[in-house]
Amino acid sequence: MKKVSQYLVLVLMSVMTVSATAAGQDADEIMKKSHLAYYYAGDDGQAEVTMTLIDKKGKERGREFSMLRLDLEEGGNQKYYTYFKKPSDVSRLTFMVHKSSGGNDQRWIYVPAVDLVKPISADDKNSSFVGSDFSYEDVSGRHWSEDNHTFVKEGELDGKAVFVIESVPKEKYKGFSRKVSYIDKTTLLPVKEEYFDKKDELIRVFTAEKIEEIDGIPTVTIRSMENIKKGTRTVVDFAQITYNVGIQDNIFTERYLKTPPRNFIK
Amino acid sequence: MRKTALIITALGLLLTAAAPSQAEVTLDGFLQGLYGARLDEDNPTSTEHTASETRLQLRAEHFGDRAEFFGRLDFVWDGSDTVEYDWELREGYLKFRLGKYFDFKVGRQILTWGTGDLIFINDVFAKDYRSFFIGRDDQYLKAPQNAIRAEFYHDIGSLSLVWTPRFEANRLPTGRRLSYFNPMAGDIVGTGLGDEFYFDPPLPEPKFENGEIATRFQRTVGNFNAAVYFYKGFYKNPMAMDIASMTAFYPILNVYGASMRGAAMGGILWLEGGYFDSREDKDGDNPFIPNSSLTGMVGFERQVAANLTVNGQWQFDYMTDYDIYKAQQPEGVFVRDEVKHLFTSRVTKRLNMETVTLSGFVFYSPSDEDAYIRLSAEYKYTDEITLMAGGNIFDGNYANTDLGRFAINDNAYVKITYGF
């Protein structure tokens, strides 16, 4: 009898392990699909972006820029091109990123007032993007394979059916020690993300404020990031979005950094 | 010359504005007040302040399907020197593409290349140290040149050719608001001692063969951008002396150089070198014309903490035929080393959602025993209004070294800018 119960326990344990693995794979699969839906929509994309930075006293600052993106491989390397329009002191400044999903990204800036092309040290992906609450990594994406994902539950958020998934970095990471994502079941876009620090205190909250269908692709057109600790918030509005416009690889070079591609950037 | 440039700009603006295109002319710019005070009392200059000016910069841009025009025009009310209104066309150029491989930029333009941070070896384009030393914006370090730039882009690399028909010299302190070293007087001088110390050396004759040619070929090698350079023209500073007329002049110069820059060790690493071929003193035996020299530098920049970037550079300068040079120097003056060393470091800290920027830049030469420190604090009060305060501190043990010659020009300034 004892042997049978031991055997039963063993069987139960292995079944549990199997189901746990299955759920783990599901979580991985969901996060992968979500990453692709959010960061790799279409083969390329173009948008006019307005950023509003709100400090803890409610004072607002604005950034306006055009953005181009090209996917070299789905879920892999990408290239980004940014042309600043406002504020006045950074107008016509261009910025380029070669995102390497395996290694370190490469970044360049061009300052037209002094005709200066300069590579920027891209060591810290967590540093702020143009002073906003979004980091460079928030803009170009942290690869899903860098975290272990666990399926928490299915739920509902703002009337949308969501998967709730918890992610923990595989290696010690400065950006967060735990992240809870609420992934829309139908679009697979992140509706909300909560970032926790090593004391497990909530530090930042991402919210997809508005999701629209653009060229048949569900797209987050208004997003926000709130820094709970600093009391600051950034709202980003993507307008005039187009996908699959035929952006060529050669645009992401010094030549176009110095002379913006006017067929895409007005 | 200036009038012609203005007329051309005005015409360009009118024409491009009149052209039936979907794009329109965009206008923006800034209004700025800059006030600088001296920190040294015994400066032999003739102005009370290093800066007391109000500046309006207007930028106009227009692009059509085939070409784009850009103009940047400054109006300055300068109360530091003799009270006067002045204006300068900073940029006014047409940019267009020919075929698949060629880009052209024609007109008045700012030009930059090379890898150094405020150290220029193969960048033999005009600098404006008068602006740089008194707290004007960084963009004013670069003086415009009337030039044609042709660029050829290909898979094997890109080739740039810049032709400047009329030599454009560096803008150096004239003695009015900043003093300088005069080898004849053997001391630091300024116009406070007399108008004869107003420094305005004659430029090379405006002949076709006195134009400047600067070329660069660059390509990507692994993680690095590699480039070779060639320059034919004149020393940008009047480093030679005509003994008959006792005036300084710009001696003929060729520069051959190379550079590399790219990501390494979690930051950006750069290397650059150049041979300054002093064409009028090939043997180094003329004491009134600089000897040829070989110079090189290495620099590294890294983000060391959140919003804190630090860099460092080391430059050496080896003078050829040094023994001849040394033997020719008069008694009692400081004679430079055969190999001169210069170290620099920049520290930049951004705070409060990048609205506050603290910056320090130090030049220090152990061989020349001189130094130059630039400090600034900037606060973006709103997207439009920026407040800034800063200082320029020089130090040197000898009056005739590169930085020591400006030793009594220490100044502090405040600046307010309204961008639109």
Q: How far is CA B117 from the centre of its chain?
A: 11
pLDDT of residue A258: 94
pLDDT of residue A21: 47
Distance from CA of B60 to the nearest CA of A (A): 12
Average pLDDT, stretch B373-388?
Answer: 97
| pLDDT, tens digit, 9 for 90 and up, residues B328-342 | 998 889 999 999 999
pLDDT of residue B17: 47
Distance from CA of A51 to the nearest CA of B (A): 12
Query: Distance of CA A168 to CAs A28, A153, A154, A179, Å?
Result: 12, 16, 19, 7
Q: Give the contacts of B196 (CB within 8 A, at least 6 positions apart).
A: none
Count of CA atoms in the C-beta half-sphere (13 A) of B86: 11
Whole-number Å distance between alpha carbons of A206 and A138: 10
3-state class (DSSP) for residue A32:
helix
Indicate the range of A201-210, B14-23, B91-100 predicted with least confidence. Answer: B14-23
A141 C-beta neighbours (distance < 10 Å), count: 16
Whole-number Å distance between alpha carbons of A97 and A93: 14
Indicate the range of A220-229, B78-87, B305-314 predicted with least confidence. Answer: B78-87
Average pLDDT, stretch A19-30?
Answer: 67
pLDDT of residue A1: 46
Say which residue, B23 or B257, is predicted with more confidence.
Answer: B257
Query: Distance of CA B125 to CAs A25, B69, B109, B231, Å?
Result: 59, 22, 11, 10
Establish whether the linkage from the previous residue to A119 is cis, with ω within 30° of 0. Answer: no
Distance from CA of B49 to the nearest CA of A (A): 27
Whole-number Å distance between alpha carbons of A156 and A57: 32
Q: How far is CA B91 from the centre of its chain?
A: 15
The token pair that represents A14 in the structure block: 């292995």
Domain boundaries defined on chain B: 2-419
The token pair that represents B198 in the structure block: 């107003």
Residues of A in contact with B106 (CB under 8 A): none
Instruction: Name the β-bridge partners of A76.
Output: none
Q: Mean pLDDT for chain A?
A: 90
pLDDT of residue B223: 86
Whether pLDDT at B38 is above 80:
yes
Whole-number Å distance between alpha carbons of A162 and A180: 12
Number of H helices, E strands in chain B: 3, 22
Nearest to B308 by CA among B267, B353, B349, B356: B349
| pLDDT, tens digit, 9 for 90 and up, residues B331-370 | 889 999 999 999 999 999 999 889 999 999 999 999 999 9
Query: Distance of CA A228 to CAs A90, A133, A136, B12, Å?
Result: 28, 10, 19, 51
| pLDDT, tens digit, 9 for 90 and up, residues B150-174 | 999 999 999 999 999 999 999 999 9
Is A259 within 8 Å of B262 when comparing Cβ atoms? no
**Strand (E) positions, B165-244?**
180-182, 187-189, 212-221, 224-234, 240-242
Q: What torsion, rounded to 10 degrees, do the Cα atoms B397, B398, B399, B403 define?
A: -70
Whole-number Å distance between alpha carbons of A110 and A13: 59
B415 band by pLDDT with thresholds 50, 70 and 90: very high
B178 band by pLDDT with thresholds 50, 70 and 90: very high
Instruction: Name the β-bridge partners of A238.
Output: A49
A5 band by pLDDT with thresholds 50, 70 and 90: low
pLDDT of residue A84: 97
3-state class (DSSP) for residue B351:
strand
Whether pLDDT at B81 is above 90:
no
Residues of B in contact with A88 (CB under 8 A): 28-30, 383-384, 419-420
pLDDT of residue A24: 52
- Check CB contact of A62 with chain B, cutoff 8 Å: yes
Is B29 within 8 Å of A104 when comparing Cβ atoms? no
Average pLDDT, stretch A194-220?
Answer: 96
The token pair that represents A113 in the structure block: 């007032």
Residue A140's φ and ψ, nearest 5 degrees, are -105, -10
DSSP annotation string for B257-290: EEEEEEEETTEEEEEEEEEEEETT-TTS--TTSP
pLDDT of residue B83: 67
Residues of A in contact with B31 (CB under 8 A): none
Average pLDDT, stretch B312-332?
Answer: 95
Q: What residues 363-392 of chain B have any CB closer than 8 A to a CB of chain A? A: 380, 382-384, 386
| pLDDT, tens digit, 9 for 90 and up, residues A101-120 | 877 889 999 999 999 999 98
Average pLDDT, stretch B409-420?
Answer: 97
pLDDT of residue A147: 95
Is B30 within 8 Å of A113 when comparing Cβ atoms? no
Whole-number Å distance between alpha carbons of A105 and B263: 10
Whether pLDDT at B86 is above 80:
yes
A179, A195 in Cβ contact below 8 A? yes
Is B383 within 8 Å of A62 when comparing Cβ atoms? yes
Considering the four listed CATH numbers 3.20.20.140, 2.40.160.10, 3.40.50.12160, 3.20.20.60, the one that applies to the domain covering B2-419 is: 2.40.160.10
pLDDT of residue B42: 87
A90, A82 in Cβ contact below 8 A? no
Residues of B in contact with A122 (CB under 8 A): 263
Whether pLDDT at A4 is above 90:
no
Whole-number Å distance between alpha carbons of B374 and B102: 40
Average pLDDT, stretch B264-285?
Answer: 95
Q: Mean pLDDT for chain B?
A: 92
pLDDT of residue A6: 57
Instruction: Tell me the whole-structure pTM to 2 decimals.
Output: 0.90
DSSP annotation string for A129-167: STTSSSBHHHHH---GGGEEEEEEEEEEETTEEEEEEEE
A7 band by pLDDT with thresholds 50, 70 and 90: low
Query: What type of residue is B18?
Result: A
| pLDDT, tens digit, 9 for 90 and up, residues B249-261 | 999 999 999 999 9
Distance from CA of A187 to the nearest CA of B (A): 33
Helix locations, chain A, DSSP H: 2-39, 136-140, 254-258
Is B112 within 8 Å of A254 when comparing Cβ atoms? no
**Between B112, B223, B353, which is nearest A55 by CB?**
B353
Whether pLDDT at A154 is above 70:
yes
Whether pLDDT at B1 is above 50:
no
pLDDT of residue B9: 54
Whole-number Å distance between alpha carbons of B357 and A86: 19
pLDDT of residue A9: 53
Whole-number Å distance between alpha carbons of B263 and A122: 9
3-state secondary structure B147-162: EEEEEEEECCEEEEEE
- Scan for tokens 């629209």, then name that residue: A212
Pairing of strands B212-221, B224-234: antiparallel
Q: Give the contacts of B411 (CB within 8 A, at least 6 positions apart).
A: B36, B37, B38, B39, B50, B51, B133, B134, B135, B391, B392
Average pLDDT, stretch B189-203?
Answer: 92
Nearest to A138 by CA among A184, A81, A190: A190
Whole-number Å distance between alpha carbons of A201 and A194: 10
